[in-house]
Structure 1
Amino acid sequence: MATVTRENIGLLNEKITVKLAKEDYLPSFEKALKNYSKQANIPGFRKGMVPSGLIRKMHGQSVFADEVLRTVEKQLNDYMVNEKLEIFAQPLPLPENDSSALNHMAPAEYAFAFEVGLKPEIRVADLAAAKLPYYKITVTDEMLEEEINRLQLRNGAMTEPEIVDNEENVLNLTFEELDETGAVVEGGIKKDNSVLVKYFAPAFRTGLMGRKKDDSFQLTLAEAFEEKEREWILSDLGLSKEDAAAASKPFKATITKLGLVEKSPLDENFFNAVFPGKEIKDEAGFREALKADIELQLENQSRNQLFDGIYHFLVDQTKIEFPETFLKRWMQQGGEQPKTEAEAEKEYPSFANSLKWTLIVDQLVKDNKIEVNQEDLRGFAKAQLFSYMGNMNMGQLDIEQPWVNDYVDRMMKDRKFVEDSFHRIQTDKVFAVAETLVQKDEKPISLEEFQKMQSEHKH
């Protein structure tokens, strides 16, 4: 009769030993041999008529080892289920186990030992005790005007003027690399690009005024562009910003086309293009709707910042002990990528922090009875589809169209998509609950100050 024993070998660290008697595995071994004999295809014998003695001689040892180890695994799993053991990862076989001692010619009593790391009982930090800053970003008149200008350009009409006479002109350019003599380098860099006149350096910009289609001029990127714009031009031309000489390379730039976006007038057609279905009639109504839209976007940024504060509060204030020795050994042996002892030691703090957050989320889900259902997953798939299409306002679209549901049906069969979406939705719901529990300390802030704060704390 099989016996399973357990002993503590460290903090939340247990050794489980499975002992098998012969009667625990011999019946399944004999049955497996008979099944093997029925399926074996050996030259000189009809299928299913191979003598059992020959099968035992040829394959007995491997079948025997498989059945013993399968029995051990079943006894171990049954024990953990019956004892309701909450463990990390999978049990790790201990070095003392010796499968080479298994001998089908001399069945005996065998013992196999495993190490497990137990999950700790946790008490999540009291969110009601958290007083966290909640930043209210001020929408200024300047921000509103800047967004109106951007939308007018986005919804404007492209024209083709005769000459460059405006910093908003778009220049379609062909860049060609030159040598020291000013001749085009054969096989050198040649690339088409579109650049707004205002992206050139101020001193260089003035020299572009009055130029026409098919005009050419020489430049180096260092003189033609300031640092920010220079970096993406360098990248687009296949040059590295780390190469000190790259910005000094001479180029010939030829204007292949001139363009200018004429701003859309502030009329009903424009209002309906920006806010379809809202039936905005005048500029005042448009400005009001746009301001509300900007406030909503900034509110989302503020909530994300609050969620970051909630994350840090929970991780910092929730005390959890881990079976560190087991987890480091599991990192070395049990993961998809085996690691050295030094690698496991180095990566453990980050690994433990991630594990801690997972346990906190699991506990909050349990404490608050948070569920993710099929409708949540389908709604998430639809939102993702329309975000890919560049239209986030699902309320203004017919989201029940057959092609939309066909797409969602396909995504629901994608196991990875469903798993990733489940965790994303679950985490969002956890933060939504947490937001209702913490105390918000509202703080007015400008967008510039808010963005600076975010850049200093990247998480």
Structure 2
Amino acid sequence: VKRLVPAELDEEFFQFHFGEEVKDEEAARSFIKDELQKFYETEAKQFLNMNIMEEVLAETEVRFPEAFLKRWLLQMDKNKEMEESVFDKQFETFLKEMKWQMIVSELGRKYQIDVEVEEVSRQLQMRAYNYLNSQMGYADPEMIRQIYDYMMKDKNQYQKAVEELMTAKVFDKVREIIQPVLQEVTIDSFREEVKALNEQIKERNLTEHF
């Protein structure tokens, strides 16, 4: 017969669950409060970014040679056997992705936003760490270095990191310009707004930008 016994809330318990600096219940409550605040600040910033993206896409007119682009895409083997309805939906997404990248590039030039090699390096190091940590539960330094070296040499991985950093900086600049007004809301109402916007974006197949 097994019996569950409540753990003793001593210093060892708090340090094991929250880190060496947390030694009592008061410190644990403060730690949890800080972590929740960081989480919702990140969620709020991402929610604002999604709103900015939706508004900018809706208000910016860009014309593409659609007939030419369709012919070009249909020449690719992976698209030749695709159903017309599926292709049309993916083509619409393709155009929106192109439009968004053009907007980001133009705003980057307008506000003289640059991405430094050191920033790309840190981004790829963090990506290598997160990948190993999620797959293995820990991140071996030597394996991090190997994956990092591979990504730094891979043009696609490197360019993707540059684009992510540029997009983040453009969002930072736009938020600085528009000076959003802080509004206090309940957690439930915020979650509902995020859910509604996520569903809207999912319908437009734009989630890969976040």
Residues 356 and 425 of structure 1: is their aligned pair in 2 closer, same or farther, counting only changes over 3 Å?
same
CA RMSD of aligned residues (A): 3.1
Instruction: Show CA shifts across 1:396-452 (max 9, x none).
Output: xxx9x5654344223323343323323222222222222222231322222222222
Change (3 A) 1:366 1:338: farther
Paired residue type of 2:197: H
Give the corresponding residue for 2:206.
none
Residue 438 of structure 1 corresponds to which residue in structure 2?
178
Q: Which residue of 2 aligns with 1:423?
A: 163
Q: Provide Cα deviations, 1:145-194, integer angstroms capped at 9, x if missing partner.
A: xxxxxxxxxxxxxxxxx15x7xxxxxxxxxxxxxxxxxxxxxxxxxxxxx
TM-score normalised over the length of structure 1: 0.37
State the distance in 2 between where 1:435 and 1:304 align: 11
Q: Any conservation in 2 of the 1:382–1:404 contact (CA below 8 Å)?
A: yes
Q: Partner letter of residue 115 of structure 2? A: V
Whole-angstrom CA distance in 1 between matches of 2:6 and 2:149: 42
- Residue 280 of structure 1 is matched in structure 2 by 22
Q: 2:113 touches 2:166 (CA, 8 Å); kept in 1? A: yes
2:111 paired with 1:368: yes
Q: What are the equivalent positions in structure 2 for 1:48-447 lying under 5 Å apart? A: 162=1, 260=4, 262=5, 264-277=7-20, 279-333=21-75, 337-338=79-80, 347-388=90-131, 389=133, 404-447=144-187
When normalised by structure 2's length, the TM-score is 0.73
Q: Which has the higher helix share?
A: 2
1:454 aligns with one of 169, 189, 194: 194
Q: Deviations over 1:234-290 (max 9, x none)?
A: xxxxxxxxxxxxxxxxxxxxxxxxxx5x5544332233334435x234322221122
**Where do 5+ consecutive residues of structure 2 fail to align?**
202-210
1: CA distance, partners of 2:26 / 2:146: 41
State the secondary structure of the residue aligned to 1:441.
coil
Structure with the higher fraction of residues in strand conformation:
1
Q: Contact (CA 8 Å) 2:152, 2:158: kept in 1 or not? A: yes
SS of corresponding position for 2:19: coil
Which consecutive residues of structure 1, in runs of 5 or more, have no partner in the other structure? Answer: 1-161, 166-259, 391-398
Q: Deviations over 1:61-95 (max 9, x none)?
A: xxxxxxxxxxxxxxxxxxxxxxxxxxxxxxxxxxx
Give the Cα separation in 1 of the matches to 2:142 and 2:90.
48
Letter in 1 for 2:116: N
Query: How far has the Cα of 1:367 moved from its partner?
Result: 1.6
